[in-house]
Amino acid sequence: DAGVIQSPRHEVTEMGQEVTLRCKPISGHDYLFWYRQTMMRGLELLIYFNNNVPIDDSGMPEDRFSAKMPNASFSTLKIQPSEPRDSAVYFCASSLNRGMNTEAFFGQGTRLTVV
Amino acid sequence: GIQVEQSPPDLILQEGANSTLRCNFSDSVNNLQWFHQNPWGQLINLFYIPSGTKQNGRLSATTVATERYSLLYISSSQTTDSGVYFCAVTGFQKLVFGTGTRLLVSP
């Protein structure tokens, strides 16, 4: 398997614009996670899905952020409107639930810069 | 929620030296992973180790779940080992990260 695939790798956008980040999880994995990494806050869990259903979105910073998983092989994280403080690296990860034991694998991340 | 603490926060080694990184967690966990974030930002899986000991080349890890800690051992360090090492634990499916140990191995 090619692993978790994220696109784009880099995104530079102007404040106020809509940004969409994309993720393709590992085939067969039933959990998908979105994380954000910043110097100040480290790696934070934003939202995760199980079988395409959002389970916990308590980490989503505010209403400007939304995430969807229309099918088992695709998820999006959207920021509308974007602000400079959204600049960060956004990671997607997936895992396969084998009882309570799971191992998560991460994509290469999307480095977002909002100017 | 679960708290994950890593120590030391920073570590500088001479190439060839050995080191031990520690991860403490505040509650019972279902699994624990160690990651290496390389200078390019990639998160590389090192170990999936909810309990016991595993070895992979110069790296090994031990988790003592009953005492809520895990150790990552790096032997004969190389410059390519530089980066940030993260411990992450799962309570109920949510993978919670520690703040990491930043390692610099100098030649």
> How does pLDDT run across B93-103, given as a tens digit for each residue?
678 999 999 99
pLDDT band, very low/low/confident/very high, at A77 (cuts 50, 70, 90): very high
Suggest the residue from A36, A51, A98, A100 to mutate for an interface test with chain B (most B CBs closer than 10 A). A100
Of residues A33, A56, A101, nearest to B50 (C-beta)? A101
3-class secondary structure for chain B? CCCEEEECCEEEEECCCCEEEEEEECCCCCEEEEEEECCCCCEEEEEECCCEEEEECCEEEEEEHHHCEEEEEECCCCHHHCEEEEEEEECCCCEEECCCEEEEEEC
Q: Is the dihedral of CA A96, A100, A103, A108 positive or negative?
A: positive
Mean pLDDT of A80-88: 97
Mean pLDDT of A87-113: 89
Which amino acid appears at position B86 of this protein?
A: F
Residue A93, beta-bridge partner list: A33, A106
Q: Can you tell me which residue has the tokens 């090192």?
A: B46
Instruction: Flag whether residue B96 sits within 8 Å of chain A, measured between CB atoms.
Output: yes
Computed over every residue of chain A, the mean pLDDT equals 94
Interchain proximity B30–A105, CB inside 8 Å: no
Q: Please list the ranges in chain B whose pLDDT falls under 70.
A: 92-93
Instruction: Flag whether residue B50 sits within 8 Å of chain A, measured between CB atoms.
Output: yes
Spell out which residues of chain A touch residue B45, defining contact as CB-CB under 8 Å. 103, 105-106
Q: Is the pLDDT of residue A94 over 90?
A: yes
pLDDT at residue A50, rounded to an integer: 92
pLDDT at residue A47, rounded to an integer: 95
pLDDT at residue A62, rounded to an integer: 86
pLDDT band, very low/low/confident/very high, at A99 (cuts 50, 70, 90): low
pLDDT at residue A29, rounded to an integer: 93
> How does pLDDT run across A27-68, given as a tens digit for each residue?
999 999 999 999 999 999 999 999 999 999 999 988 999 999
Q: Is the pLDDT of residue A102 over 70?
A: yes
